Amino acid sequence: MVTQRAASLHADIGEVLLTPETIAQRVGELGRELAGDYADKRPLVVGTLKGAVVFMADLVRAIEPVPAGLSLEFIRASSYGAGTVSSGKVALGGTLAAADIAGRHVLLVEDIVDSGRTAVALVDHFKAAGAASVKMASLLSKPARRTCAYKPEYLCFEVEDKFVVGYGLDFDEQYRSLPYVGVLRPELYTGFE
């Protein structure tokens, strides 16, 4: 039964945009870039739950050599209710205290920058908490959907305005475990908008 469901997840993908090999190569390149940029900054790497977990795990392992004092945290950020359209309101949650942020060089890790509202809310939140610097690394950016001016400082891939899943990205809490980024077949989400 589990094997049948896993097979059906792959069958739900209309097109593979980014293969595991393509993703691994770019994440490795970005990790080396971050190692240089954060070499002496004791970075606080903060992943947004749940979508960025897969990307963040691979990214922090690619940051070589590891900057002294690098630490990991997570924050919840949501602008989606049920369906596929952003609510326009960003809710942040987590246990990260302002004292843990103050004076730190924060690297936010996102799965995708879509409208940009969540990214802006996250950056503003960490700046207000007294971070020494705040930058974002995003697996994907979808500029066609941007409703506010924001561009992540570190980006793996820019994608067209298609409904993407896999490598941490989900639809209705499914597809996160796919090892690639693919386009979900439209008939599977039509009516959820």
- Catalytic (active-site) positions: 114
Q: How far apart are CA 83 and CA 29, in angstroms?
A: 34
Q: How far apart are the first and last CA of the chain?
A: 30
Contact present, 96 and 75 (Cβ < 8 Å):
yes
Q: How far apart are CA 162 and CA 185, in angstroms?
A: 10
In 3D, which of 95, 43, 92, 34 has the Cα closest to residue 70? Answer: 43
Q: How far apart are CA 2 and CA 15, in angstroms?
A: 23
